[in-house]
Chain A
């Protein structure tokens, strides 16, 4: 790895170079049998023959994308993407400033097309701000933190322990004693770093995916920190998930703006889109989308920020707009959505729509969030008061 590994926990898990599957026979093809196979990150996936073919194409595209990135490095230097923002301490000549601007535009486009899995740890770590965050504390921070809290028992650690075997069970590395121990250290460490968050269910999946990508616990930990502290909106995972409630309301408004017909139809059915979107936002799609597709979303998330979640969520509904418009029952609509997300093996199918067809540059997100924050707070407060009334009246 490119970074010094302080704890001897370089993960034994390797990205699968090939999808291990016997070529299905023509009979299997005819019968449209469901086959099980392992995807790029080692997850067992059930799909049909078409899905396997798509995954093979994706693997080829990933390789191609890798060549593009390596060519960029050869052309512009190894860490070219770090020089996209003019660092203010250096007086740049105008020609250099221009190249910085070109780099920034190139980088944004490149990232939307995907960071090759082999470069992901390095690119994520620098572009997300995790490297910077880590550099503000002593080198031994992670080891000191996890060492100091490893024997402590708190409500958070109990819940973490409960969830370890329930985090992607069956995964060839995550679901092993080493995998559990690594996820545990990252989550327990973080629960002490931010006691307001402590442990929130959902973070187990996020931490697990980060470990698979980053390959070292320490980097996974810092990615989790930067994600919760800088990338996402505040309070997504704290106490009553108020941040998550806010994002859901903003999402509903965006859906009404971008797909008014669909939004109206879903409302008629009584289908509150938060029923499905809450999990998307809390697990950052890791429980719904195939792993490489999830990682492609995260590529952009770490570079462009939390608004990316809206792009992707809107794209999922947009993709199935016509089908959803002819459903007449909530259950049918949900099935369509679930089926769609589980089979999005080609990340470009989703991301092309998310970024080329959905544009809310004109929407002032922070203003929207501020507005919804007031509503959410009032609602949660009112609910709490009603429930307390119940308690008292039962007691007396």
Chain B
């Protein structure tokens, strides 16, 4: 993980001074970037089609809910700033398309992400299965320090529930994610998910192991040898 700890003001002046030529010398700014007490964090939402990814974002960013939210193609971008303790966290949110075939685009959106919310619909067992696949993929290919949240959305539809909270909680614990059931419709737990992520984002001193950092359990390397042809 590369930490860009450059003072943002310094960076700005450098940039404006060098306006005339491309800024090859600057490192890429991604993951969570720190300047004073401001943190920029790229966050990606992944999950099955219709699980409510866009609705969660709309609730968080604009405080709105639409019964029918336009289907997302590729991905949609939003930003929102949160104040947590003594710092502000500016989330740059990538809300991705859910259809299976869009899967091949996902790496572009989760590359360099500091956090991910994996969303499923509590009324759809398939969407929970798909959520697990996303978790596996992020564990394998994502940023190893990524803060991951599992959100069981549509919690207001209790009578149509297919995935128990217990099942999801156990899964989340086993995989080092934090878990919440949410409802974009009633707003339940929506801001909380983002707040919790903001709190858990690794802070400044990159040498220390920051509090709240999620350690990801990886399957033992030896296990692969036991499985046959891949």
Cross-chain contact A169 with B26 (CB below 8 angstroms): no
Q: How far is the CA of A155 from the CA of B183 in the complex (A)?
A: 26
In the complex where A270-B29, A270-B112, A330-B92 touch, is A200 in contact with B101 (Cβ < 8 A)? yes
Inter-chain contact B104/A261, CB cutoff 8 Å: no
A239: CB under 8 A from chain B? yes
* Cβ–Cβ contact A394 & B16, under 8 A: no
Q: Is the CB of B137 within 8 A of A380?
A: no
Chain A, interface SS category: helix
Find chain A residues with CB under 8 A from B226 CB: 396
**Interchain CB contact under 8 A, B49 and A201:** yes
Contact call A392/B224, Cβ cutoff below 8 A: yes
A260 to B68, CA, bound (A): 41
- The reply to whether B73 and A245 contact each other, CB–CB distance below 8 Å, is no
CB atoms of B105 and A241 under 8 A apart: yes
User: Given A274-B108, A329-B29, do A387 and B137 touch, yes or no (CB 8 Å)?
Assistant: yes
Stretch at the interface among B17-25, B143-151, B162-170: B17-25
A385 CB–B CB distance under 8 Å = yes
Chain A 156-171 interface 0/1 with B at a Cβ cutoff of 8 Å (1 = within): 0001001101111100
Residues of A close to B22: CB separation below 8 A? 260-261, 264-265, 268
B170 to chain A, nearest CB (A): 16
Q: Is A389 positioned at the interface, with any CB of B under 8 Å from its CB?
A: yes
Q: Is the CB of A279 within 8 A of B75?
A: yes
**With contact pairs A205-B73, A394-B136 given, residues A328 and B141 touching in the complex (Cβ less than 8 Å):** no
- With a cutoff of 8 Å between Cβ atoms, the chain A residues found around residue B108 in the complex are 272, 274-275, 278
Whether a CB of chain B sits under 8 angstroms from the CB of A386 is: yes
- Expressed in whole angstroms, the minimum distance between the Cβ of A383 and any Cβ of chain B is 7
Return chain B residues, CB-CB under 8 Å to A395: 227
A325 adjacent to B19 (CB under 8 Å): yes
Does A16 reach chain B (CB closer than 8 Å)?
Answer: no
Chain B residues in 8 Å Cβ range of A388: 230
Assembled-state Cα–Cα distance A355/B50 (Å): 39
A270 touches B30 (CB 8 A): yes
A165 touches B104 (CB 8 A): no
- Known A326-B16, A392-B227; judge A334-B77 contact (CB<8 A): yes
Interface residues of B in 120-154 (CB under 8 A from A): 136-137, 139-141
Contacts of B19 in A (CB 8 A): 325-326
Q: Give the distance in Å from the alpha carbon of A180 to the alpha carbon of B102 in the complex.
A: 24
- Which residues of chain B have C-beta atoms less than 8 A from A204's C-beta? 71
What is the interface of chain B, defined by CB distance below 8 A to chain A? 11-12, 15-16, 19, 21-24, 26, 28-30, 40, 49-50, 66-77, 79, 90, 92, 94, 97-99, 101-105, 107-109, 112, 136-137, 139-141, 219-220, 223-224, 226-228, 230
A-B contact pairs, 8 of them (CB 8 A): A162-B49, A166-B71, A264-B22, A264-B24, A276-B77, A278-B108, A326-B19, A330-B92
